[in-house]
Structure 1
Amino acid sequence: MVRSPLTIKSIRSVAPLLDRVLVQRLKPNTKTASGIFLPTSATSSPLPEATVVAVGPGAPNSKGDIVPLSVKAGDRVLLPGWGGNSIKVGDEEYHLFKDAEILAKITE
């Protein structure tokens, strides 16, 4: 059974809970530097890089203490090719991941 992504009217109405991170994947280039348009089959797989839009407050550990997340809004991160939940806002698509599923934070 294939489910369509959840549709929301405004991204501001989405507040991640616990250790969840709301991200927006970077869109693949559809045109090369020399101006050649790439077919959709060449750009259909999602890029592993994303921008963090919002984060939850953190999840409690076994002692009940809240463990803060390792990323914050505005960070660039690497994501796995699987997992996450899709959220559609207008024409834009966002994804919710657990903090532990994020592979790396990109620093420059």
Structure 2
Amino acid sequence: MAKPSAKINIAPLGDRVVLKRAEAESTTAGGIVLPDAAKDKPQRGEVVAVGDGHVKDDGTKVPLTVKEGDTVIFSSYAGDEIKIGDEDLLLLRESDILATC
């Protein structure tokens, strides 16, 4: 996955994470070239910023388990798409992340 072109100036709050979504595949395994309309949005991305954690009922703060630079897999309809400068990013809760890879 390509690194963001510049440092992203965003600080997610609480248990939120900002991701740069992986590029969609442009060809199938059999070599068929896909038009843009047929490409599925990948459910994989790189963490570019993390919040400071979530607060438990007793007031203690629990840090997030993912960190900047991690590659993660997330739920299909998770988060909100945002644009910072020329970067298209995804803002979601850590609970929407299914796995790291």
Fold match (TM-score > 0.5): yes
Q: Report sequence identity in percent.
A: 41
Q: Aligned to 1:38, which of 9, 34, 38?
A: 34
CA distance in 2, matches of 1:25, 1:52: 9
**How well do the aligned residues superpose, as a CA RMSD in angstroms?**
2.1
- Residue 30 and residue 81 in structure 1: after superposition, are their counterparts in 2 closer, same or farther (change >3 A)? same
Aligned length: 96
CA distance in 1, matches of 2:53, 2:20: 20
The CA deviation at 1:63 is 0.9
Residue 14 of structure 1 aligns with an amino acid whose one-letter code is I
TM-score by length of 2: 0.82
Tell me the equivalent position of 1:55.
Answer: 50
Residue 23 of structure 1 aligns with an amino acid whose one-letter code is L
CA distance in 1, matches of 2:24, 2:81: 17
Residue 49 of structure 1 aligns with an amino acid whose one-letter code is R
The CA deviation at 1:55 is 0.2
The question of 1:29 aligning with 2:25 is answered: yes
TM-score by length of 1: 0.77
CA distance in 1, matches of 2:85, 2:30: 31
CA distance in 2, matches of 1:35, 1:29: 11
Structure 1 unmatched runs, 5+: 1-9
The CA deviation at 1:92 is 2.5
